Structure 1
């Protein structure tokens, strides 16, 4: 279903300003990677472990947060989580959808986490082949050095680790081998360039999600980007005018590359079209801002085509 068709079927006032962080959906997940789940007889055998996870998620997600989870009555071995990118990171205001698939040996074996990446590698832990391996700092691992410990680690713990240790302000510094190098002028420079690249990919993913919201999250996607449209456009124009990638609005640091400014300018028309599809309003804010004339022509570039969604797998 297109965004326009969905929107015209929604009455005014249907989209809430606040969302329940955890609830059961009547529908089934539509992502092709979710067919990797075990047979139903195995699912029934591990139902107690899954129920324990669902109860823990419902408890942990009672207060408003940046993590939202949907469970499915028709497929209990699958969850869909969405993490909102945090301010001060190159992922800010983005939505990152992760499908959680409970495998046959759960809880002895960690669930499979599949990020809907739309073909973009947005983190050093996420490879183009689709596999993701977490190498977290010691404060996020157990004494054994592992990330998943049966009956101790929960799905909520992993989602928080992804939000705080993967989708963070300096993702390159958490790359295996790069951490040991320590802070230096060279490492800071490479991290700066990497953040620019990640932010561009994050903007493209926003466009993909708005053009085709994931099933069971249509209202959530439309409501989120309606609320954030003004901030996103203001920050994009600030980036074109020289704001450092990932610093967020209000930071006056003017450290940037010209390639980054050009790339952000080329993303603005696509974002504009996507915001128009969901009827987000931001013209009054954009008109009040000044865009560097040198990059104004870049906002009229042809539409960029994006590659289809590819699952990214996270193994313990």
Structure 2
């Protein structure tokens, strides 16, 4: 029933973005409005708009071009399946000389050796972990590479072996390491489910439609997975008493949370900030107000050069234009449609 574009631009920055108060100095604003920096960011937006996989969603902000928010779906075959994991991204004012900063919304759960409770993301590509030279950030690296790396390298089927020094044991046939990995997956699944509940009850700004649609669609699958873990079908081990108790509680919590989604979809209006503008991204507001400085002329010229500027009117009665609209705002989640070329 629900469609949510993989990429979209939002006029106003989200007030719940982790990096909202970053890059506010005059120096940062001036650097971000340089022609080369603007051009690089516009190219990044285009790469994302054309190449995101179906399981990764990104929103950029016309009034703050240095901020992005990404939602990554947990891959099938991993303890993260059916989850939505949110990351706030900041482009430093000297981008792309320095890599983006990435913050993980952990909700207090440590679900992976590379994703800390504090929100710290440990990844060579953003220079927060050591690696070979070709694994570190360069000016030719992209945001798309970062997002795909998080999904593929961090949210994998055996996250226990993401621990430093354990990587070479990933394919070990030693029962001790296999057992450790299985037990880690069991705990990770529980934490992942608890994080899902938090997301259902407190969806990040501009992703409310995705959260409602995704969890309504995956409700049966999530409840079935909890039962499988609870009854020991996910491993050859006896289910630990504490694990069984946690899963019993989770099953009940999920039944309550998921049953509420229908009424939430009907009764909750999407805020005006959730309007997804037509692509190609543009209008003078895209970057003229981005960092609130006086470089209006140079900013407009970069946007017009990189992305043809179009305008569109959004109304609650409009239908999506299959010729190029990324999405249109309607008053109810149950009628939230969007399309992309």
Normalising by structure 1, we get a TM-score of 0.74
Aligned to 2:180: 190
> How much does 1:87 deviate?
1.1
SS at match of 1:279: helix
> How much does 1:276 deviate?
2.1
SS at match of 1:133: coil
Aligned to 1:154: 142
- Considering only aligned residues, what root-mean-square deviation do their CA atoms show, in Å? 2.1
8 Å Cα contact 1:37-1:102 kept in structure 2 = no
8 Å Cα contact 2:108-2:118 kept in structure 1 = no
Q: 1:272 aligns with which of 247, 255, 276?
A: 255
Deviations 1:168-201 (A, max 9, x none): 1001112211113451211111111111111111
8 Å Cα contact 1:27-1:216 kept in structure 2 = no
Deviations 1:131-150 (A, max 9, x none): 222258xxxx9862433111
> How much does 1:261 deviate?
2.1
SS at match of 1:20: coil
Structure number with greater Rg is: 2
Work out the CA distance in 1 between the residues paired with 2:245 and 2:13.
Answer: 41
Alignment of 1:1-316 (within 5 A): 16-39=1-24, 40-45=29-34, 46-61=37-52, 65-134=54-123, 144-150=133-139, 152-181=140-169, 183=172, 184-244=174-234, 256-279=239-262
> How much does 1:94 deviate?
0.2
SS at match of 2:3: coil
> How much does 1:92 deviate?
0.5
- Where structure 2 has 5 or more consecutive residues not aligned to the other structure, the ranges are 264-341
User: Structure 1 stretch 42-51 or stretch 192-201: which is displaced more?
Assistant: 42-51
Normalising by structure 2, we get a TM-score of 0.69
> How much does 1:54 deviate?
0.5
> How much does 1:237 deviate?
1.6
- Tell me how many residue pairs correspond in the alignment: 251
Work out the CA distance in 1 between the residues paired with 2:180 and 2:246.
Answer: 18
> How much does 1:19 deviate?
2.0
> How much does 1:255 deviate?
5.9
> How much does 1:50 deviate?
1.0
> How much does 1:274 deviate?
1.2
- Where structure 1 has 5 or more consecutive residues not aligned to the other structure, the ranges are 1-15, 246-252, 281-316
> How much does 1:32 deviate?
4.7
8 Å Cα contact 1:37-1:77 kept in structure 2 = no
